[in-house]
Amino acid sequence: MSGHSYDAEKYWKANLRLIFGSLIVWALVSYGFAIILRPMLAGIPIGGTDLGFWFAQQGSILTFIGLIFHYAWRMNRLDKQFGVDEE
């Protein structure tokens, strides 16, 4: 492992970017759509209630699963790309 090389730094920056992007989506579906922005989504009906309610009780959980698998897939690929994966 080359802890101080230019590549290692690039790897870490790519990881941080990916985390940052994922956490924006994470916050948007839960704190955004499900809570703060719920009144704005009130016009979109879904099965007797509104889209915000769906995000609060189901949508956010499904998004979280997608986010983690996406992150795992991208990071495991980045590991290989930068040669920092485990043999």
Partner 1 sequence: MSQFGINIMFVGGSFLIYILIAIWAKAGSTKDFYVAGGGVHPITNGMAIGADWMSAASFISMAGIIAAGGYASSAYLMGWTGGYVLLAMLLAPYLRKFGKFTVPEFIGDRFYSKNARLVAVICLIVASVTYVIGQMAGAGVAFSRFLEVDSTTGLIIAAIVVFIYSVLGGMKGITYTQVAQYVVLIIAYTIPAVFISLQLTGNPIPALGLFSTHIDSGMPILDKLNQVITDVGFNEYTADVDSHLNMVLFTLTLMIGTAGLPHVIIRFFTVPKVADARWSAGWALVFIALLYLTAPAVASMARLNLMTTIYPDGTAAEPIEYDNRPQWVKEWEVTGLIKFVDKNEDGRIQLYNDTPSFQAEADARGWEGNELDVNRDILVLANPEIANLPGWVIGLIAAGGLAAALSTAAGLLLAISSAISHDLIKGSINPSITEKGELMAARISMAVAIVVATYLGANPPGFAAQVVALAFGIAAASLFPTLMMGIFSKRINNTGAIAGMLCGLAFTLTYIFVYKGWFFIPGTANLADTPANWVLGISPLSIGAIGALVNFAVAFAVSNATEEPPVEIQELVESVRYPRGAGQAQDH
Q: Contact positions toward partner 1, by CB under 8 A?
A: 1, 3-4, 8, 11-12, 15, 19, 22-23, 26, 30-31, 34-36, 38-39, 46-50, 53-54, 56-58, 60-62, 64-65, 67-69, 71-72, 75-76, 79, 83-87
CB of 6 to partner 1, least distance (A): 14
The encoded tokens of residue 31 equal 């704190």
b/e burial code for range 22-56 (CB count within 10 A of at least 16 → b): beeebebbbebbbeebbeebeeeeeeeebbbbbbb
CB of 83 to partner 1, least distance (A): 8
What DSSP state is assigned to residue 4? T
Q: Which residues pair with 46 in a beta bridge?
A: 49
Which residue number, 43 or 76, has a Cβ lying nearer to partner 1? 76
